[in-house]
Structure 1
Amino acid sequence: MEGQSLLPNLLGLLAVAFLVVLNAFFVAAEFALVSVRPTRIAELVANGNQAARWVARGLENPDRFIAATQLGITLASLGLGWIGEPALAGLLEPLVERLPVEIASTVSRTLSAVVAFGTITFLHVVVGELMPKSIALQSPQRTSLLVGRPLAWTTAVFKPLIWALNGTGNALLKLLGIRSAEGSELVHSVAELKMIVSDSAEGGVVADSEEEMLHAVFDFRETLVRHIMSPRTEVISITAEAGLEEILKTAASTGFSQLPVYQDNLDHVIGIVHLKDLLDAILNDGSSTARELMRETLFVPEAARIDTLLKIFRARHQHMAIVLDEYGGTAGIATLEDLLEEIFGEVSDPFDRDVEIQPLPDGSSLVNGLTTIADVNEHFELKLSDPHYDTIAGYILGRLGRLAKMGDTVVADGARLRVVAMDGRRVSRVWVFPTASAKPQTEE
């Protein structure tokens, strides 16, 4: 008789073990589905992985599959409370009654129930919840591949019930004025994508150089033409009446393959001479002028975005544009090379004679005055800023509040800047010495 009375309780314990495992399965499935990378699953599907096909189905309709996991977790939890506690209490009660201390029957049942409840709760939380969650979060891909097929079967079996529950939930949300989520609406912002790239770089998946290029791509759309152009003072140009010899000498001395052509002054650029056209003219007649050789040029405002300029270059098959200021005058020129350098960094041209940042043995550097503040900040890890100027020379002028002269020094937050070369009234070279202890000030 005693054996017969124990049998239901033993069967109940087996049911407890099954329900805990079932709960763990659905918890692991839920966290695996929301953690796994869809791109990785798509790659596995493309490679013929059959298990990945089941996961891909779940990712196509995550609402239905997540609802299936929630339904499974709920039913398993209810089953543990309904079957588990009475079965375990029934096994514990005879043991409690055999204690040397005489315990009343009511107290015995109560104590057994409390111990049984605590044990079931412990198993439910630790084995049925925390452990599968940790496993799924640590290995979402492997876990999702294991649970994909059985979860799909479960979803198919309970499809009517899942449909009814989802429909009821969405209807209640609609009454509250809350829009229900339709499928996967996970979209990363640019800032989040940068963080993902940085995390990948820290983990060794992405090289440092690749990280810099990817960050530059994300920032590409926000950069204005005025930030990357060669300013007017650096533009090498020729007059419309210049002959072939003068054009050839200018091209040879500068190394430029394209030269702007102006009428009267640089504010009236009327075209661009290409080196190829120049060489053709020399080989043919040798008597042409810049006006006869020039091609149509592009004009863009300095406030245009560089991604827009890149589209124009591609559409017009040109590599140079004249940048205009707000008054219609020439502010500078922008080339395809300038755009590419925003992504790939400084491109060393064999004809470039001026290095923007030249490191010195003592840790300081000589910097071209036309180097942008952003480039100086990136190179020296500084946080210089000025709302009115884009270049380091302009930054110094803004801090001084007057025209600069040789020897002028500005001590910024983290660096000492000294004017070491002038080109007329323009600051052409700046000595930069990074120093963490520097406090912002100016020196004569």
Structure 2
Amino acid sequence: MSFVDNALIILLLIGISCFFSMSEIALAAARKIRLRQMVDEGDLRAERVLKLQAQPGSFFTVVQIGLNAVAIMGGIVGESAFTPYVKAALTGWVTEPWLGQLSFILSFAIVTSLFILIADLMPKRIAMAIPERVAVALVGPMMLCIVILRPLVWFFNGLATFVFRILQIQTVRNDQVTSDDIYAVMAAGTEAGVLDKGEQQMMENVFEMQTVPVTSAMTARESLVYFLLQDSEEDIKRKITNDPHTKFLVCDGQLDCIKGVVDAKELLIQVINGQSITLKGSPLVRNCLIIPDSLSLSETMEYFKNTRSDFAVVMNEYALVVGIVTTNDLQSAVMGAWSLHESEEQIIARDKDSWLVDGVTPITDVMRAFNIEQFPQSQNYETIAGFMMHMLRKIPKRTEFVNYAGYKFEVVDIDAYKVDQLMVTRIDTQDEPLLPID
């Protein structure tokens, strides 16, 4: 054959190798989420790509048969195509016996370079840049190759499967998306500038709602303001003035004897109309939703949606009130600092290495604020004050502290045995005593 014929054969082989290389990378790199979107948009080729990804054994067998066959043919044809011309060009410069060997080496280098550059590197980089577009464009010809080479595919694929079974190697692709995968995608989006830090934090809060207990978002028992059936009109007005809220619990004699909830706006209307305010037998006192303290934030939201409520009393297993929760509290849990007034912030930075933290701050908020992955035996407490009591094994006193995760947690204010405020200071982790984590 002439040089032109050999060159055309080389170009054809390079084109075939380019096809297989692009197909291999595109199928592996194509994102399932994007392919499913393309299916929803009516692109049936994307559905065929998804089927190949689900059972990729035949596909990769065809790719390897094609690539290896082309490489062998390219070596045979390339050596015979270029060696005589290289030898003629070197005659007069190189003498035998080095002329023949050098001609062969240069011919081999030329063919190999062409295959590496045009048949391997360039198509793979294109396929990595736009994997879904390449995959749907080449899936038809690839399916045809699988049909044509079915006997060879059956033989080599069956042999590989047999070997994998003997070695007990899992070959089924696991495409289950975990919460860690989603967090990683959001973090990558933040680094790329698609999301800002606040949006990333808000979405992470949404995913954590299934595991965060409702007690972390509620208003705790000791902070509740409520009405008693026995309260006079002056008592009611004073409580509303001192602690203006939208709704108030109504109890009979004590907090744990709940009679219902009253809307402060309806009481205001009575005052404007010159009517006296009384709670005994009043139609303004309505039943309220009562939920167990074992619910998560997402379960609580589901309760609110099903009952069309925005206010609930949280009770423990002894039928004691542990707090109240509203839809605004759930919103604050998701939105974080965006929805909190400055006076309501529970973690306030004093400088770059120290913070003032409210004792009732949920432990999940502390973990997030200080980038702490885990607290020891965190199932035994819900707030940072509970963490201090658990670690010290007693009711903390002022100036007592615990070193953990590179921070010093020091009690700075006590209110009637209650840890009211802590100072959190960054410390050298080398000086920190090790604490066991279960």
TM score, norm. by length of structure 2: 0.79
- What amino acid maps onto 2:13 in structure 1? L
Q: 1:101 to 1:163 in 2, by over 3 A?
A: closer
Q: Say if 2:117 is the partner of 1:130.
A: no
Q: 1:103 to 1:163 in 2, by over 3 A?
A: closer
Question: C-alpha distance in 1, partners of 2:171/2:405?
Answer: 50
1:94 deviates by 7.7
- Whether the 8 Å CA contact 2:62–2:153 is kept in 1: the answer is no
- Other-structure match for 1:407: 399
- Other-structure match for 2:327: 336
Q: Say if 2:356 is the partner of 1:369.
A: no
Q: 1:316 to 1:170 in 2, by over 3 A?
A: farther
1:430 deviates by 1.9
Q: Deviations over 1:111-167 (max 9, x none)?
A: 877775665455444542333223322x125xx536744x25424644643677777
Structure 1: gaps of 5 or more residues: 1-5
Q: Which sits farther off after the overlay, 411-420 or 26-35? A: 411-420
- Name the SS for the 1:345 alignment partner: helix
Structure 2: gaps of 5 or more residues: 434-438
- Whether the 8 Å CA contact 2:75–2:111 is kept in 1: the answer is yes
1:305 deviates by 1.4
TM score, norm. by length of structure 1: 0.78
Aligned counterparts, 1:61-72, within 5 A: 61-63=51-53, 67=58, 71=62
Q: Deviations over 1:311-364 (max 9, x none)?
A: 0011111122222223332222222222112211035566x9654123336853
Q: Which sits farther off after the overlay, 37-46 or 357-366? A: 37-46
Question: C-alpha distance in 2, partners of 1:58/1:84?
Answer: 34
Q: Deviations over 1:172-228 (max 9, x none)?
A: 7888599986xx963321101101110111111211111111211221211111222
Instruction: Pick from 231, 234, 246 the counterpart of residue 257 of structure 1.
Output: 246
1:14 deviates by 1.7
Question: C-alpha distance in 2, partners of 1:164/1:71?
Answer: 11
Aligned counterparts, 1:279-298, within 5 A: 279-282=268-271, 283=273, 285-289=275-279, 292=282, 293-298=284-289
Instruction: Pick from 381, 387, 396 the counterpart of residue 389 of structure 1.
Output: 381
- Name the SS for the 1:271 alignment partner: strand
- Whether the 8 Å CA contact 1:244–1:290 is kept in 2: the answer is no
- Whether the 8 Å CA contact 1:10–1:87 is kept in 2: the answer is no
- What amino acid maps onto 1:265 in structure 2? Q
- Other-structure match for 1:161: 148
Instruction: Pick from 192, 207, 216 the counterpart of residue 218 of structure 1.
Output: 207
Question: C-alpha distance in 2, partners of 1:42/1:219?
Answer: 26
- What amino acid maps onto 2:413 in structure 1? A
- Other-structure match for 1:17: 11
Question: C-alpha distance in 2, partners of 1:79/1:261?
Answer: 84
Identity of aligned residues (%): 21
- Whether the 8 Å CA contact 2:261–2:285 is kept in 1: the answer is yes
Question: C-alpha distance in 1, partners of 2:160/2:252?
Answer: 69
- Other-structure match for 1:81: 72
Question: C-alpha distance in 2, partners of 1:190/1:299?
Answer: 31
Instruction: Pick from 9, 13, 34 the counterpart of residue 28 of structure 2.
Output: 34
- Other-structure match for 2:436: none
- Name the SS for the 1:334 alignment partner: strand
1:24 deviates by 1.4
